[in-house]
Amino acid sequence: MSVRNVEVGWQLKAACRGPQAIVFFPPSNPERRDEKRFRERNAKAICETCSVRDDCLSYALTIREQHGIWGGLSESERRELLTV
């Protein structure tokens, strides 16, 4: 099985698919700290309902994804996991 097939399998089931996906990544313009917290809190709330959350987090950790909310964790939270 190729990596591409593995990715598509869980991504098709992700709760973040669709118009709400915008909250998972920072905007192209600067955002204030309170705006970032609000955006990330909304993204994490979607992650809590997701049936493939563990797969998503595992993928992000494996590829060392540096941006956005993946598997319910932010960039800094994932970085912390990797240093433990």
Sequence-separated (6 or more) residues with CB below 8 Å from residue 70: 24, 56, 57, 59, 60, 78
pLDDT digits (tens, 9 = 90+) for 29-60: 999 999 999 999 999 999 999 999 999 999 99
Q: Is 84's pLDDT higher than 80?
A: no
Q: Please give the model's pTM, rounded to 2 decimal places.
A: 0.85
Query: Which tokens in the block code for residue 38?
Result: 């609000």
How many whole angstroms from its chain centre is CA 23? Answer: 10
Q: How far apart are CA 36 and CA 69, in angstroms?
A: 11
Sequence-separated (6 or more) residues with CB below 8 Å from residue 82: 61, 64
